[in-house]
Amino acid sequence: MTSPKGTFDILPSSDEPWQQSHLWRFFEEKVYSAADLYGFEEIRTPLFERTELFTRGVGDSSDIVSKEMYTFDDKGGRSMTLRPEMTASVMRAFIEHRLDQKASLHRLFYMGPMFRYDRPQAGRYRQFHQLGVEIIGSKNPLYDVEMIDFAFSIYEKLGLSHLHLFINSVGDPAARKAFSAALKEYLPEERLSEDSKKRYHTNTLRILDSKDPQDQALLEGAPTLADFLSSASQDHLQTVIAHLKELGHTATIHPRLVRGLDYYNETVFEITGGGEQAQNAICGGGRYDGLLKTLGGPDLPGVGFATGIERVLQMLLAQNKAPLKKTLMTVFLIALGDSSKELCFKLLKELHSHDIAATMDYSGKKIKDQLKIASDRGCRYALIIGDEELASGLAELKELATRESQKISWKNLAAVLKGVLS
Ligand code: AMP
């Protein structure tokens, strides 16, 4: 049996380096420390929600909802969907728990698996993981800036470089309506790809997203959103770009950037890496001022992003910035004989109770084999107890890297070891 197509296992030592669990933990630790620094608080929601949340929240005409959702009827006949993204879930939780009454501004972040029935390919999975943030409660463009800066601070903490930030404004509903009409008038429907023909009627803006070369050619010279933006929208975009620059982030305007989801307004952005990954964004997001209200909540604006953890880890490896696996084990207990095994078993618990990372092997293997296991596990010390050590009350503590040994008392072991370690 293998894991389902488009999914993967994260293992202590996977042949695929980005699937090694220590790397995922490294990523998560950087996220938590950045979140503490910026004041983002964590939110966790169920992996599945009522299907209706996503059809309303993400939009019927998006690829995610129309083609990619894992939807099933539960035993009670209710339609449920594995979350394809988390913004809609965050909004649902926000409304359900009346978070608007608890504070006027919320900085939230999440990490976890998302599910999309997508064609698996490099950098594209059916169960993938996102880190995302949502700032809810203000239209102020400085929050757009802070959020993008937060994303960059995480990439910097991880050691990533050569990232490009592309930004655009999709304006307000009136601008999008006027632009859609102009685009429809400009584009010859009959020459568009099959997908874009559908979008022509359901969501014309999304034609700009098309990767089809024929569509791309037809779009050359098409009107751009910029021509339709109100002066308020233009100001918003320019304020964001200027303040990003102040923080050291260069944003390039990408006039055809609209992003796949229906709920965006004003700022939209993507972050990509250089080289091979250039076509694969590692991060995308934008402002979604009407979304909470659409879902039946208070009329509060919001802005957010999601970054794909797989792609970030792959980029980390491609840039040779992935850390080596850290040695976590301090002591490996080696018992030679049944009586010392009983003693070591108790000593192991004593060390754990005193926050000293320790492990042992119960199989009674020869000392040479046990020392090898200890080295393979990356333990710092081996503590060896045989009949002689049992009788004398002194165990042999061997530092595995230097092979140096010393005798230490196994009575009161935790205190003695702490002394050695300090
Ligand atoms: P989206 O939610 O589509 O805006 O995607 C945000 C980010 O999630 C992207 O920039 C990718 O890094 C990542 N992502 C989206 N879909 C997938 C997928 N199927 N597999 C892996 N990563 C993905």
* pLDDT tens, residue by residue, 136-156: 999 999 999 999 999 999 999
Q: Is the CB of 310 under 6 A from ligand 1?
A: yes
Atom of ligand 1 nearest to the CA of 124: 20
Atom of ligand 1 nearest to the CA of 84: 2
Q: Which amino acid is at 71?
A: T
User: 213 pLDDT exceeds 70?
Assistant: yes
From 85, 124, 129, mutation site for ligand 1 pocket: most ligand atoms within 8 A of C-beta: 124
* Model pLDDT for residues 285-311, shown as the tens digit of each residue: 999 999 999 999 999 999 999 999 999
Q: Which residue, by CA, sits nearest to atom 21 of ligand 1?
A: 124
Q: Which amino acid is at 99?
A: L
From 130, 131, 277, mutation site for ligand 1 pocket: most ligand atoms within 8 A of C-beta: 130
Atom of ligand 1 nearest to the CA of 281: 10
* Model pLDDT for residues 341-379, shown as the tens digit of each residue: 999 999 999 999 999 999 999 998 999 999 999 999 889
Report pLDDT for 44: 98
Q: Is the CB of 89 under 6 A from ligand 1?
A: no
Least confident of 33-47, 143-157, 180-194, 227-241: 180-194
Atom of ligand 1 nearest to the CA of 285: 4
Report pLDDT for 326: 78
Residue bearing the bigger pLDDT, 256 or 77: 77
Q: Which residue, by CA, sits nearest to atom 17 of ligand 1?
A: 124
What average pLDDT does this structure show over 333-339?
94
Structure tokens at 145: 């800036």
Q: How far is CA 316 from CA 26, 48, 278, 312, 323, in A?
A: 11, 30, 14, 6, 9
User: 259 pLDDT exceeds 60?
Assistant: yes
Going from the Cα of 305 to the center of ligand 1, the distance in angstroms, rounded, reads 11
* Model pLDDT for residues 76-128, shown as the tens digit of each residue: 999 999 999 999 999 999 999 999 999 999 999 999 999 999 988 888 999 99
Q: Is the CB of 83 under 6 A from ligand 1?
A: no
Tokens 């840039």 label which residue? 319
Q: Is the CB of 281 under 6 A from ligand 1?
A: yes
Share of the chain above pLDDT 90, in %: 85
Residue bearing the bigger pLDDT, 277 or 171: 171
What average pLDDT does this structure show over 246-275?
90
Q: Provide the phi-psi class of 177: left if phi over 0, else alpha when psi is between -120 and 50, else beta.
A: alpha
Report pLDDT for 277: 47
